[in-house]
């Protein structure tokens, strides 16, 4: 059967609509894309993929494209430039397709040579990775320039579609066999014992195995954070910043539905999503609770004080580790954001440490990269809160911890080294 040609007029209309929502009205790219694709039900599967690839590609490469074109190009010009530079379409054809004057794409000529000729190494890195200069500076300062460049390359690739097998239904071997029956190819993740990487061509949410609760979509790094909690049947576990419940469900599976799992968050709507997901996954021991934001939360948590065996503080953060999955975040963040989040993170560590029983464990995690939100907050937990670093290896497994390059009580995951999103985790004991 001959492959159907894409209807470029319909693809382009959807891309430009999403691009307008993101850049003119401040929508998050994933929300704007979801809105457009929900309404454009007549698009074929290949066309929907083409729209998503273009939307995220334009957002990723916006900084570089704008610099090459000069000034702030119109939406159609930026889209045509992306098609010409990254979409495999000749500049003249891209200009004609989007109704753009060919002269507007002249800046793409010899683009690689122009970028390579930029004298300042950090300016060049910022341009080649399409990152704001302040983010380029932070990555280079933390990793060294060459390692930062490797990170920048990976952040501009499509993130893998990674799922976590729901152990309440079956392990990942059983899930893999079930997916094969649905004609979905899946490979085991490198580090997580629960993960599979799907081929990415399927709509995972439409699979019967998803609807029946056999898996959740979850980055491998996020799975490893849940593994580092050491949740076990019969324990009292608190997911202090549960959000929509991704890690809560992983903890419930580790607990085999036995014990008490408390999912806390200040956003009641996100907790409603966690409840819905828990029902699909067959989770019965999750108790969700909306708590106030700020100091009022302390009084609301009095009944849990000193009772938890494990508390996970997966703290709100800048999200610098998720730029591959959320490429528009790089243009929304400001240089002050890591320090602003770190102030909140210190407050949360102090607040939720009060829930840990003596001898219990607190696990601090972020999806950010850099010491401000990670190592410095971990040091605050020791210095100001009185927590004691606790070894990670017994929780992750000695071989896995060694393969990941984990420290005694801290682990940094990086996309270009581990294939995960960027994460940080630190483990503590309360004496």
Residue 294: which CATH number? Answer: 3.40.50.150
Q: Is residue 2 part of a domain?
A: no
Domain boundary among 55, 85, 117: 117
Domain identity same for 332 and 417: yes
Whichever domain contains 197, its CATH number is: 3.30.70.1170
pLDDT at 202: 75
Domain identity same for 212 and 350: no
Average pLDDT rounded to a whole number, residues 334-355: 98
Domain identity same for 143 and 233: no
Contact 291, 393 (CB under 8 A): no
Domain identity same for 247 and 337: yes
pLDDT at 71: 79
- Could you list the residue range(s) of the whole structural domain that residue 130 is in? 120-157
User: pLDDT tens digits for 213-247?
Assistant: 999 999 999 999 999 999 999 999 999 999 999 99
> Which helix (DSSP H) or strand (DSSP E) does residue 239 occupy?
strand 236-239
Average pLDDT rounded to a whole number, residues 277-290: 96
Domain identity same for 177 and 276: no
User: pLDDT tens digits for 379-424?
Assistant: 999 999 999 999 999 999 999 999 999 999 999 999 999 999 999 9
Q: Is residue 46 part of a domain?
A: yes
Query: Looking at the predicted structure, is the pLDDT value of residue 1 above 60?
Result: no
Domain identity same for 102 and 177: no
Average pLDDT rounded to a whole number, residues 191-200: 94
Domain identity same for 266 and 374: yes
Whichever domain contains 48, its CATH number is: 1.10.940
Q: In sequence order, what are the beta bridge partners of 429?
A: 361, 388
Q: What is the distance between the terminal CA atoms of the chain, rounded to a whole angstrom?
A: 68
Domain identity same for 373 and 422: yes
* CA nearest to 302, candidates 351, 243, 266: 351
User: pLDDT tens digits for 374-388?
Assistant: 999 999 999 999 999
410, two tokens: 């801290």
Q: Is residue 366 part of a domain?
A: yes
229 is catalytic: no
Q: Is 156 helix (H, G, I), strand (E, B) or coil?
A: coil
Domain identity same for 25 and 137: no
User: pLDDT tens digits for 86-106?
Assistant: 999 999 999 999 999 999 999
User: pLDDT tens digits for 296-336?
Assistant: 888 899 999 999 999 999 999 999 999 999 999 999 999 99
State percent of the chain over pLDDT 70.
100
Planar angle of CA 31, 65, 370, nearest 5 degrees: 65
Q: Is residue 229 part of a domain?
A: yes
Cα separation, 242 vs 230, in Å, equals 17
Give 325's DSSP letter. Answer: T
Q: Mention every residue, 6+ apart, whose C-beta is less than 8 A from residue 363.
A: 225, 228, 229, 310, 311, 312, 313, 425, 426, 427, 428
Domain identity same for 290 and 344: yes
**Distance (Å) of CA 14 to CA 36, 88, 100, 401:** 7, 19, 17, 45
pLDDT at 302: 92
Query: Looking at the predicted structure, is the pLDDT value of residue 3 above 80?
Result: no
Pairing label, strands 260-265, 286-290 = parallel
In total, the chain counts a number of residues equal to 431
pLDDT at 2: 58
Q: Is residue 182 part of a domain?
A: yes
Q: Is residue 3 part of a domain?
A: no
Q: Is residue 1 part of a domain?
A: no
Average pLDDT rounded to a whole number, residues 36-44: 89
- Measured N-to-C along each axis, helices 45-69 and 121-128 cross at an angle, to the nearest 10 degrees, of 150
pLDDT at 406: 95
Q: Is residue 212 part of a domain?
A: yes
Contact 319, 329 (CB under 8 A): yes
Domain identity same for 366 and 292: yes
Q: What is the number of structural domains in the chain?
A: 4
DSSP sequence for 28-87: -HHHHHHHHHHH-TTS-HHHHHHHHHHHHHHHHHHHHHHHHH-S---HHHHHHHHHHHHS
Contact 242, 265 (CB under 8 A): yes
User: pLDDT tens digits for 45-80?
Assistant: 889 999 999 999 999 999 999 999 997 899 999 999
Domain identity same for 130 and 91: no
Mean of pLDDT over the chain: 95
Confidence class for position 265, pLDDT limits 50, 70, 90: very high
């Amino acid at each position: 059967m001959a492959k159907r040609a894409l209807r470029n007029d319909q693809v382009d209309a959807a891309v430009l609509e999403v691009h307008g929502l993101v850049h003119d009205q401040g929508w998050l790219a994933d929300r704007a894309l979801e809105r457009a694709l929900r309404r454009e039900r007549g698009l074929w599967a290949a066309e929907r993929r083409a729209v998503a690839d273009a939307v995220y590609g334009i957002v990723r490469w916006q900084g570089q494209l704008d610099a090459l074109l000069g000034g702030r190009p119109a939406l159609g010009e930026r889209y045509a430039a992306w098609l010409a530079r990254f979409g495999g379409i000749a500049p003249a054809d891209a200009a004609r397709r989007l109704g753009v004057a060919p002269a507007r794409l002249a800046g793409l000529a010899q683009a690689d040579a122009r970028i390579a000729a930029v004298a300042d190494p950090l300016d060049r890195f910022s341009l080649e990775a399409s990152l704001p200069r302040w983010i380029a500076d932070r990555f280079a300062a933390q990793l060294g320039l060459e390692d930062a460049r490797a990170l920048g390359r990976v952040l501009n690739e499509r993130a893998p579609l990674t799922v976590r097998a729901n152990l309440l239904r079956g392990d990942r071997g059983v899930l893999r066999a079930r997916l094969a029956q649905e004609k979905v190819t899946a490979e085991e993740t490198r580090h997580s014992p629960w993960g599979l990487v799907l081929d990415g061509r399927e709509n995972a949410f439409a699979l019967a195995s998803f609807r029946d609760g056999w898996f959740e979509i979850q980055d491998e790094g996020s799975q490893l954070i849940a593994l580092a909690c050491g949740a076990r049947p019969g324990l009292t576990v608190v997911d202090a910043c549960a959000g929509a419940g991704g890690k809560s469900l992983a903890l419930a599976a580790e607990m085999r539905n036995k014990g008490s799992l408390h999912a806390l968050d200040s956003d009641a709507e996100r907790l409603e999503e966690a409840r819905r997901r828990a029902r699909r996954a067959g989770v019965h021991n999750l108790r969700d609770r909306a708590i106030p934001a700020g100091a009022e939360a302390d009084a609301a948590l009095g009944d849990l004080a000193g009772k938890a065996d494990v508390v996970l503080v997966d703290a709100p953060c800048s999200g610098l580790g998720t730029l591959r999955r959320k490429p528009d975040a790089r243009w929304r963040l400001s240089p002050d954001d890591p320090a602003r989040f770190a102030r909140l993170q210190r407050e949360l560590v102090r607040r939720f440490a009060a829930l840990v029983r003596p001898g219990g464990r607190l696990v601090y995690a972020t999806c950010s990269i850099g010491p401000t939100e990670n190592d410095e907050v971990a040091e605050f937990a020791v210095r100001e809160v009185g927590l004691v670093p606790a070894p990670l290896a017994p929780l992750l497994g000695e071989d896995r911890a060694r393969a990941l390059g984990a420290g005694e009580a801290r682990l940094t995951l990086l996309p270009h080294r581990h294939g995960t999103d960027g994460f940080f985790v630190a483990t503590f004991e309360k004496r």
